[in-house]
Amino acid sequence: MNGFVSRGFKRRRQTSEELEERLPPGQYSEPGFPVLTAGPTPEISKGDWTFRIDGMVANPREWSWEEFGGLPFEDIPCDIHCVTKWSKLGTSFGGVSVDVLLEQAEPLDAYAMVYSYGGYTTNLGIEDVSDGKAWVVTEHEGEPLPREHGGPARLLVPHLYFWKSAKWVKGIRIIDHNEPGFWESNGYHDRGDPWKEERYWTD
Amino acid sequence: MAERMTPVEVRAPGGWQIGTVTSIKAETPRTKSFRIKLPMWIAHLPGQHYDVRLTDPDGYRAQRSYSVASSPLDEGGVELTIDRLEDGEVSPYFHDVVEVGDLVEVRGPFASYFVWRMEKPVLLLGGGSGVVPLMAILRHRRRTMPTLPMRLVYSVRSTEDVIYGDELDDDSLLTFTREAPESWKGHRGRIDRELIAAAGIEPGIAFICGSNGFVETVSQLLLAAGWEPRQVRTERFGPTG
């Protein structure tokens, strides 16, 4: 705190105390679901969609849309936080826990590079995608995930800024070192914990 | 004396600093440009943004990101062009309260994806206030390499939505989607294949900025016109109140 006060600024948005506690520093509550994507939106049909886990794993795996549909499906109520300052509180997704996928592939090392149709990548430590913290989701609030929000499937990692929740996700590569993904190479924080306000490289 | 000794580490981009508003220009009825002098200025890349943070006397804070509109050749400060959103918290403050001489807390410049690094040829496509980061690119090119092939295609609803109107030159193609001035002989309607062709820029690098719908439509038009996805950079407006 540097004691600076903006002359004549008065708070205009009121948020209930309960919701206030769920808003990380510098975020505001946004009822809508804005779309922010780098580059054109890719179009992937369910017939062409596959999801794979490869790299340093004992058992590289690939699932078709149909095979993926046979995996245990969960409802995930959560709050999501975008680095551009909006948070969407009390939303929900439906999909498969990354734990289920990793269990079958048996990772042999500690870093995950998530990659998407269209070329997007984002890096995560394996601890951030395991133990019930990450999912590959195909539904949002009970409906099929819209294409503009990453449909047919996106990663969901609600405890980190939302750029980590890669849209149009295609797979996870397990590697033996940390390496920046797309936004992490373009000025954004390596890990992106909203509660520590890890927005940019220097945070 | 101590006040004048700036510690080295806070010169890195990203530290909060208190700038001074040196000029305010009303661009349109709902858009104003603010020149802000910065104690720890560093050159930005055209297309980058700054974060702005407001603090009220109770310690409540609101943050938003705004694109820089000025060329990095304007040393010592940045110009932020801010669209007024009625139900917003930060933009109405800038429009209704901020005066020349006021202090504002900012940090930047940030992000290095939607930035121009002198690639060519360049096609800029802006919808509404999406023109702001594109203007930083256009202004920088005009002052550094005015013959480099670059064209701005700028879509607005009506006359009163034209930002930087007095700066639009032969390198800009304006189109009105709702209401054009009576004497208007230029383009009308949404950006389409013909207007993109009229810009006369071969696939090189394109920057598209505007609402999600605008960016989606225009990027698909470029792909249909033979541009590769990797040649098309987009910035979609989230809600920035």
B106-123 tens-digit pLDDT: 999 999 899 999 999 999
In a 3-state reduction of DSSP, which class is residue A154?
strand
Structure token pair of residue B222 = 């470029």
CA distance A177 to chain B (A): 23
Structure confidence at residue A23 (pLDDT): 95
Nearest Cα residue in chain B from A9: B56
Rounded distance between C-alpha atoms, residue A83 and residue A91, angstroms: 17
Helices (H), A41-162: 65-69, 98-105
Q: Which ipTM was obtained for this model?
A: 0.87
Give residue A100's region: left, alpha or beta (phi > 0; psi -120 to 50).
Answer: alpha
CA end-to-end span of chain B, whole Å? 39
Tell the burial category of B159 from Cβ atoms under 10 Å away from its Cβ (0-12, 13-18, 19+): middle
In angstroms, what CA-CA distances link B133 with B55, B70, B223? 26, 8, 22
CB-based contact A135:A56 (threshold 8 Å): no
In a 3-state reduction of DSSP, which class is residue A126?
helix
CB contact under 8 A, B55 and A37: no
In angstroms, what CA-CA distances link A103 with A107, A128, A132? 8, 15, 12
Nearest Cα residue in chain B from A43: B220
Helices (H), A21-122: 65-69, 98-105
**What are the tens digits of pLDDT across the range B16-59?**
999 999 999 999 999 999 999 999 999 999 999 999 999 999 99
The answer to whether residue B11 scores a pLDDT higher than 90 is no
Distance of CA A180 to the CA centre of its chain: 15
Tokens 């996805």 -> residue = B229
Rounded distance between C-alpha atoms, residue B18 and residue B107, angstroms: 9
> Which residues from B are below 8 Å from A28, CB to CB?
62, 89, 241
A120 touches chain B (CB under 8 A): no
Closest CA to A111 of A96, A128, A94, A134: A128
How many Cβ atoms sit within 10 Å of the Cβ of residue B73?
Answer: 10
The DSSP bridge partners found for residue A58 are: none
Structure confidence at residue B12 (pLDDT): 55
CB contact under 8 A, A9 and B18: no
| pLDDT, tens digit only, all 203 positions of chain A | 568 999 999 998 887 888 889 999 999 998 888 887 788 888 999 999 999 999 999 999 999 999 999 999 999 999 999 999 999 999 999 999 999 999 999 999 999 999 999 999 999 999 999 999 999 999 999 999 999 999 999 999 999 999 999 999 999 999 999 999 999 999 999 999 999 999 999 89
pTM: 0.90
The DSSP bridge partners found for residue B77 are: B37
**Chain B contact probe: residue of A12, A14, A44, A87 with most B CBs at under 10 A:** A12
Structure token pair of residue A184 = 């992490």
Task: Tell me A190's DSSP state.
Answer: S
Residues in chain A: 203
**What are the tens digits of pLDDT across the range B120-136?**
999 999 999 999 999 99
In a 3-state reduction of DSSP, which class is residue A38?
coil
A81-109: b or e for each residue (b if 16 or more CB lie within 10 Å)? bbbbbbbbbebebbbbbbeebbeebebee
In a 3-state reduction of DSSP, which class is residue A67?
helix
Nearest Cα residue in chain A from B215: A40
Beta strand A50-55 pairing with A61-64: antiparallel
CA end-to-end span of chain A, whole Å? 15
